[in-house]
């Protein structure tokens, strides 16, 4: 699995976290297919912790300047969309942890993987929205010092959560 970068230079670089999170989720699914329940749960629990921190940082560090510096957001870039999708991502991860399909029949595992597909569709759409609007527009509007302060906080939290 790819590693997270040691630091970020632009807001758009935060997409590396998304790639890392996607790879972690794939590792979780592989562990399920291999019958390694403990590893699958461990990966998923760690992913949830990282994602909760990342979402909190996005909402605390990115959405306020986005609201302030982008007074007319483009269609598809509304703050409410990010917040709703963040809640949905967190809800999916919690459901996955609470309802692991291990030691159940094959149909339960099939249904679990169907839910995984819905989660992946959600995160793919959400990450594309962030790349297209939130990250790109903040890269254009924030000065270097503002970016550095924000990105240093993301990096610090990422290191502490790992």
pLDDT digits (tens, 9 = 90+) for 79-127: 999 999 999 999 999 999 988 766 566 777 888 999 999 999 999 999 9
pLDDT of 7 reads 86
Angstrom distance (rounded) from CA 12 to CA 106: 40
Whole-model pTM? 0.92
pLDDT of 110 reads 85
Output 99 or 141, whichever has higher pLDDT. Answer: 141
> Which tokens belong to 127?
């990450």
Q: How many CB atoms lie within 10 A of CB 138?
A: 24
- C-beta separation of 109 from 32 below 8 A: yes
């Amino acid at each position: 699995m790819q590693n997270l970068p040691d630091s970020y230079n632009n807001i758009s670089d935060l997409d590396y976290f998304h790639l890392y999170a996607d790879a972690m989720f794939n590792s979780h699914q592989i562990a399920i297919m291999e019958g390694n329940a403990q590893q699958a749960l461990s990966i998923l629990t760690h992913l949830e912790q990282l994602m909760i921190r990342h979402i909190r940082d996005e909402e605390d560090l990115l959405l306020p300047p986005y609201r302030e510096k982008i007074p007319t957001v483009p269609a598809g870039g509304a703050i409410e969309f990010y917040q709703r999708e963040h809640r949905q991502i967190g809800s999916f991860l919690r459901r996955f942890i609470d309802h692991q399909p291990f030691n159940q029949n094959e149909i339960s595992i099939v249904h679990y993987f169907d839910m995984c597909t819905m989660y992946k569709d959600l995160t793919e759409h959400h990450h594309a929205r962030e790349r297209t609007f939130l990250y790109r527009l903040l890269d254009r509007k924030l000065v270097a010092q503002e970016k550095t302060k924000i990105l240093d906080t993301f990096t610090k939290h990422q290191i502490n959560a790992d």
